[in-house]
């Protein structure tokens, strides 16, 4: 690991780390916030998964999470949203390719060579975090595509996380344009393969009932077309899976929205990670 950025923040330290990912086959950057007096304390870890077009920079500069992680004694880990590099396949559209990893393992060429963001988060990030803590307590959150990733990874890997939340998540990716485009490219035309990364499909048979906190802006321009919640909430209710869904009047899809409710989300995770 190489530290490429290091800045004081709320009594702790915001770092950006660069490392080679064996899973993705490229160099990756990860934001790591270390709260005050972190050394030797074995603090829990909260992973934040970013949305379409984002890098690790968006949340560490605009999300406002550091102050709350400092208060609760939580290490915040913010990976990039896709593999990067000259050899990594890309697309002209902003919602496919670099910046749009969708937290899945692609099976279709040319994407299958590098696009394995779910494995990266589950397999490699814990090993990276071991440089800072031996605490096995982990939570996961994210925004938009990253909210999709947070919920899906928690449902697909019971026992890996102790808490989960999301901001404006894509809850039914198999039925909305963003998900249909990405899943068609990364996973091919078989919709049965898509179901393995669709939160609405997964929650119906989830074996672990981690309470899920979701905040969604009522003024989000993507709410009706990309972020409908009805099928997911119905499936969760049928399965007896606890979900708190808060529709926040006046808020859109931006980091003004995310930063407003970040404190609530960090507190949600802190309660489970203690």
> Residue 249's pLDDT is what?
98
CATH number at residue 190: 3.40.50.1820
Q: What is the pTM of this model?
A: 0.98
**136 lies in which domain range?**
2-273
Are the beta carbons of 104 and 79 closer than 8 angstroms? no
Active site residue 144: yes
Q: Which residues of the chain have pLDDT under 70?
A: none
List 198, 220, 241, 268, catalytic entry: 220
> Residue 140's pLDDT is what?
99
List 21, 144, 163, 229, catalytic entry: 144
Neighbouring C-beta atoms of residue 191, cutoff 10 Å? 15
Strand pairing of 12-21 and 2-9? antiparallel
Measured distance CA(247)–CA(105) in Å, rounded: 31
Task: Count structural domains, the chain.
Answer: 1
List 253, 265, 268, 269, catalytic entry: 253
> Residue 2's pLDDT is what?
97
Active site residue 82: no
Neighbouring C-beta atoms of residue 178, cutoff 10 Å? 22
Measured distance CA(116)–CA(187) in Å, rounded: 11
Enumerate the β-bridge partners of residue 9: 12
For residue 254, with 0-12 CB atoms within 10 Å meaning exposed, 13-18 middle and 19 or more buried, which class applies?
A: middle
Burial 20-59, CB ≥16 within 10 A → b, else e: ebebbebebbbbbbbbeebeeeebbbbbbbbbbebbbebb
CA distances, 257 to each of 173, 252, 261, 262 (Å): 22, 6, 7, 9
Active site residue 9: no
Sheet architecture: strand order including 12-21: 2-9, 12-21, 26-34, 75-79, 45-49, 138-142, 163-167, 212-217, 243-248
- Encoded tokens for 191: 């919709």
Q: Tell me: the pLDDT tens digits for 58-110? A: 999 999 999 999 999 999 999 999 999 999 999 999 999 999 999 999 999 99
């Amino acid at each position: 690991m190489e530290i490429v950025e290091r800045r004081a923040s709320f009594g702790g330290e915001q770092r950006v780390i660069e490392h080679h990912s064996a899973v993705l086959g490229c160099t990756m950057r990860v934001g790591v916030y270390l709260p005050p007096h972190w050394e030797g304390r074995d603090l829990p870890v909260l992973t934040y998964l970013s949305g379409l077009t984002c890098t690790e920079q968006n949340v560490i500069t605009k999300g406002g999470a550091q102050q709350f992680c400092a208060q609760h004694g939580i290490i915040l880990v913010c990976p990039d949203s896709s593999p990067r590099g000259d050899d990594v396949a890309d697309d002209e559209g902003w919602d496919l390719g670099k910046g749009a990893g969708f937290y899945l393992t692609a099976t279709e060429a040319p994407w299958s060579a590098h696009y394995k963001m779910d494995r990266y988060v589950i397999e490699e990030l814990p090993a990276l975090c071991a440089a800072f803590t031996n605490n096995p307590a982990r939570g996961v959150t994210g925004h938009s595509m990253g909210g999709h990733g947070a919920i899906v990874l928690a449902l697909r890997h019971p026992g890996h996380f102790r808490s989960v939340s999301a901001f404006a998540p894509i809850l039914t990716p198999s039925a909305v344009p963003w998900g249909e485009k990405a899943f068609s490219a990364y996973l091919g035309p078989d919709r049965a393969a898509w179901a393995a990364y669709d939160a609405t499909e997964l929650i119906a048979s989830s074996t672990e009932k981690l309470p899920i906190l979701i905040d969604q802006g009522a003024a989000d321009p993507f709410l009706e077309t990309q972020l409908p919640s009805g099928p997911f909430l119905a499936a969760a209710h049928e399965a007896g899976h606890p979900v708190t869904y808060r529709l926040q009047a006046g808020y859109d899809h931006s980091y003004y929205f995310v930063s407003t409710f970040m404190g609530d989300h960090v507190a949600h995770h802190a309660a489970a990670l203690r």
